Amino acid sequence: MRTSLIAYVVTALVLFTLDFIWLTNAVPAIYKPRIGQLLLETPNLAAAAGFYLLYVVGVVGFAVLPALEQGSLVRAIWGGALLGLVAYGTYDMTNLATLKDWSGLVSAVDMAWGAVVSAIAATVGTVVVRQFT
């Protein structure tokens, strides 16, 4: 239980911090010019919190804990990257398939970001848990 809790907290902090930095820079540079008409003036923070709380469960369950069990940092990297690609890809490809003004470039960039940020968060979560348990 302690391992899972440490993994969750660390992974959440890393994911949220990196995503905050990303969105602060990417929204005005990438998202707004291409899909600005679809964006809310102010993000729905409750929905965002729900995403992060749930998504971190996935990163820990599908990447961090298996990496710890296997003693493999590579497992954390690839598990996080694959989960990020699939999760962000589900969102982005569904939007591309169903929304009239959705951008293919936004989908590609967002899917790549999902893979990268999830891999980093899973890796840091794994490293920190190894040090404290």
Q: State the pLDDT at residue 23.
A: 96
Using the CB atoms, write b or e for 111-133: b if 16+ within 10 Å. bebbbbbbbbbbbbbbebbeeee
Residue with tokens 């999830």: 118
Query: Which pTM was predicted?
Result: 0.96
**Per-residue pLDDT tens over the stretch 105-125:** 999 999 999 999 999 999 999
Please determine, for residue 133, whether its predicted confidence score (pLDDT) is greater than 90: no
Q: Give the chain's largest Cα–Cα span.
A: 49
**Per-residue pLDDT tens over the stretch 49-101:** 999 999 999 999 999 999 999 999 999 999 999 999 999 999 999 999 999 99
The residue ranges of every structural domain in the chain are 2-132
**Per-residue pLDDT tens over the stretch 6-50:** 999 999 999 999 999 999 999 999 999 999 999 999 999 999 999
Nearest-CA neighbor of 31 among 110, 94, 111, 98?
A: 110
Q: What are phi and psi of 107, to 5 degrees?
A: -60, -50
